[in-house]
Amino acid sequence: MATATDRAAPPAVALRGAGLGFGGNPLFSDIDLPVAKGDRICLVGRNGSGKSTLMKALAAEIDVDSGDRFVKPGARVVYLPQDPRPPRDMTVFEYVEGGLPPSSDNAPRDHLVEAAISGLSLDGGRTMGGLSGGEARRGALARALVSEPDVLLLDEPTNHLDLPTIEWLEDMLEGLEAGLLIISHDRAFLRRLANRTLWLERGQLHRLNEGIDAFPDWAEKLIADEEVQAHKLNRQIAEETRWLREGLTARRKRNMGRVRGLLDLRQERAERIKRPEGMKIDAGEASRSGSLVMEAINLTKRFIDERGVEKSVADDVSFTVRRKDRIGIIGPNGAGKTTLLRMLLGQEEPDSGRVKTGFGVETIYFDQKREQLNPADTLWSTLCPGGGDSVEIHGKKKHVVSYLRDFLFADRQATAKVATLSGGERNRLLLAKLFAQSHNLMILDEPTNDLDVETLDLLQEEVSDYDGTVLLVSHDRDFLDRTVTSIIAVEGGGRIREYVGGYQDYLGERRRTEKPAETTSTKTAKAKPAAEKPRTRSTKMSYKDGRELELLPERIAKLEAEIVRLGEELADADLFSRDPKTFQTKSARMVAAQEELAAAEDRWLELEALKEELAGS
């Protein structure tokens, strides 16, 4: 299962016998890594194992110390790094257009550029220098998608993307003929796009001819087999050493072969790189809080975005968070997820409404920008801001260096500056800082960014087992499905809705509630040509249109009354906790009624316009 397989297609790009090290320490050695057109491969490994460096070597961004790189003549190999640095003076359209391959017929291809820009929610007229880091990354992704590559190398492509954009990207990549090599912490993304797994572990590349779901059991078996082999090797060395010590001096010449054999065994043991200890995340037991943790009461919040456009985060929104709730918060980028969190935390005031916090609530907040970490501080002073050499963890003192080891930091890093840490290391440090505090409400804003699969699994288990309350903002669908029991969807335009279950449950409920609206829209669309393009220049309305116009005001009035009634029923703050099913049914009907009202009003205006046009002809 773990052996390489023969390919039908020759590789478009490959590393052969590649090795690379820094400061005398090998990062990887004797690596063979071919990627052919049509391959679907994910590359996994711990943070710091060398995944990104290996991908850079395959992309010819860096040179290897040994071995070589092969590229099939004429093959296009396109690389998307984690931190792209596009030219600042180009517009988004110009930058993405620059990724197009040469064309023999000079046919216009603007539609390809526009589709990629639109799919990634970018404005083609803006300059690259005016984009945020996440937007610039999306620009680089759009450029890669239009490049018609033979091989596409993607390093954490879903970082800074919202869920609708990730799903759009999956559809795009699934339709490509190019070979894909992907580094990602997003299991759902890898599950859909990769059918083979490469594991970079202690400088060696292990191959699995299955997707990411088979990886944990396979890796565990590899580790167990390795431990058995290490035990056998140690026993063999002990036996050979004892035999030689007991041998007679007169037989020394005859035993030199076994002496050399023993030296070889010891050399083999020395060359085995010790497997590093795993991360030990422990949030501890939650302190006691009251039944009511948090209540949002008629929250309204608007803001002006960077383009001067007013946007609404919440429009008269109310919901309740109770002890041991596990709520995922989702929504498009820019919809206001982080703003909602900041209002709940009291860090930002709503325009109207208020947030009520329950008795005894102790909050820890993981902010996605890691603003709680001071780049000038050391790791030691971050965990011990008042001085000293120990932290109190769940009522027991622990030396700060020992505690840092639990989060995979080397002893020498204790006195290093936070500014020297990678994104994944900063995430681990912030988790260490937060879990050392007393808490019963865990608010996590995109905690999975920059974490490797192994650390992600540990964090997921800790959040799942946590006996306090969890509010989690994440674009990681697998993480949401494994940890939360309800979803708050920040949908933009001030709409915030609650759904029971994880992300897949949310999708299913959305599909069910959108069906009536789609039926209404379809009927309306079919009716429009009769009104807009009458077959004859009649001077009066048809009986059907006239009758519809006559009945529409009554229907509109009924829908308006129903919406008012549903709004009053849903305003009951205890309805969701008392009867989630009824709350869900009424919420779904409210959405459908609002959409039916909008369609009825549009149709009434359309028929009134037709009536006036015919009267004047």
138 annotated among ligand-binding-site residues: no
103 annotated among ligand-binding-site residues: no
Burial 74-108 (b: 16+ CB within 10 A, else e): ebbbbbbbbebebeeebbbbebbbebeeeeeeeee
317 DSSP β-pair partners: 299
Q: Which residue has the tokens 């090797």?
A: 233
Long-range Cβ pairs for the range 483-488 (8 Å, 24+): 483/326, 483/328, 484/326, 484/327, 484/328, 485/325, 485/326, 485/327, 486/325, 486/326, 486/327, 486/328, 487/327, 487/328, 487/329, 487/330, 488/319, 488/327, 488/328, 488/329, 488/330, 488/340
Q: At what angle do helices 503-532 and 580-615 cross, to 10 degrees?
A: 10
CA distance 155 to 57: 13
290 annotated among ligand-binding-site residues: no
493 annotated among ligand-binding-site residues: no
49 annotated among ligand-binding-site residues: yes
46 annotated among ligand-binding-site residues: yes
Q: What is the number of H-type helices and E-type strands within the chain?
A: 18, 20
CA distance 278 to 408: 7
CA distance 19 to 434: 39
179 annotated among ligand-binding-site residues: no
Q: Which of 227, 280, 235 is nearest to 435 (CA)?
A: 280
Six-digit token string for 306:
């960077």
CA distance 39 to 580: 45
247 annotated among ligand-binding-site residues: no
312 annotated among ligand-binding-site residues: no
440 annotated among ligand-binding-site residues: no
417 DSSP β-pair partners: 378
99 annotated among ligand-binding-site residues: no
346 annotated among ligand-binding-site residues: no
- Distance from CA of residue 335 to its chain's centroid? 17
508 annotated among ligand-binding-site residues: no
CA distance 611 to 592: 28
374 annotated among ligand-binding-site residues: no
533 annotated among ligand-binding-site residues: no
Six-digit token string for 515:
């069906």
338 annotated among ligand-binding-site residues: yes
- Binding-site annotation: residue ranges for ATP: 45-52, 331-338
- Binding-site annotation: residue ranges: 45-52, 331-338
